[in-house]
Amino acid sequence: MVIRNESTRSNFLREVNLFEGLDNKVINQVFRRGLVQNFKKGDLIIREGLRGGNLHILINGKAEVVKGGQQGKAKGRQLAKLQRGSVFGEMSVFDGAPYSASVRALEDCDVHIIRGSDFEDFLRANPQAAYGIFRTLIASISNRLRRTNLALSVMGNRHGRDSKK
C-alpha cells in the first residue's frame, strides 16, 4: 500500500488510539519515521522470542496475536485479533526484550513499522506528544494486564472446581 499524501497519512494515524490528540504536523513526523511493509495471508509479521524493538501499526487487513507456536510457526493459542489501527510490538520498544508473542496475518495486510530507536528519538524531541503517547500506552498495557489477570483468575477457579470433583 502506498500512502500518497500528507492528509492521507494524518487521517490514518488519527485513527490510531496511540496518537489521539496530536496535531497533523506531529502525526506527519511520526509517519515519516516509519515504513510500510506488505504481508500476505499466513505470513508472520513478528515472531515470538525473536529480538524485538519495532513499533507496528496495522494499516489494513486483519491479524492475530498467538502465543506458544513452535519453531516460529504461529499455531499457538490465539490471544487477540488485530484490525486497522491496532498497535503491536510496543512493549519491546521500551524494555528491549524479545517479542512476547507472534503476530500472523489473517488476510493480506499493510503494516506501518517504526524502528524503536527512531520512535524514541521522536519522543525525546517532542516531550508534550510523548506525555500523551505514554499515557495511552500505559492505559493500554494496564488494560491488557487486567484482562490477563481476570482470565487467569477464571482459569484458576475452573481448575479448583475440577480438582474438587
Rounded average pLDDT over 73-88: 83
Write out the residue range of the structural domain in which residue 109 sits.
6-153
Residue whose C-alpha cell reads 500528507 in the numeric block: 6
DSSP states along 28-54: HHHHHTEEEEEE-TT-EEE-TTS---E
- Residue 165 located in a structural domain: no
- Residue 145 located in a structural domain: yes
Q: Report pLDDT for 70.
A: 56
Q: Report pLDDT for 159.
A: 56
- Our count of domains for the chain comes to 1
Query: Domain containing 124 — which CATH number?
Result: 2.60.120.10
Res 73 pLDDT > 60: no
Nine-digit cell string for 17: 488510539
- Residue 77 located in a structural domain: yes
- Residue 162 located in a structural domain: no
- pLDDT confidence tier of residue 5, bands split at 50, 70 and 90: very low
- Residue 159 located in a structural domain: no
H or E stretch including 153?
helix 127-164
On whether the CB atoms of residues 41 and 99 are closer than 8 A, the answer is no
On whether the CB atoms of residues 144 and 98 are closer than 8 A, the answer is no
- Residue 105 located in a structural domain: yes
pLDDT tens, position by position, 18-69: 888 888 888 888 888 999 999 999 999 999 999 989 999 999 999 999 988 6
Of all residues in the chain, the percent with pLDDT exceeding 70 is 84
- Residue 140 located in a structural domain: yes
- Residue 18 located in a structural domain: yes
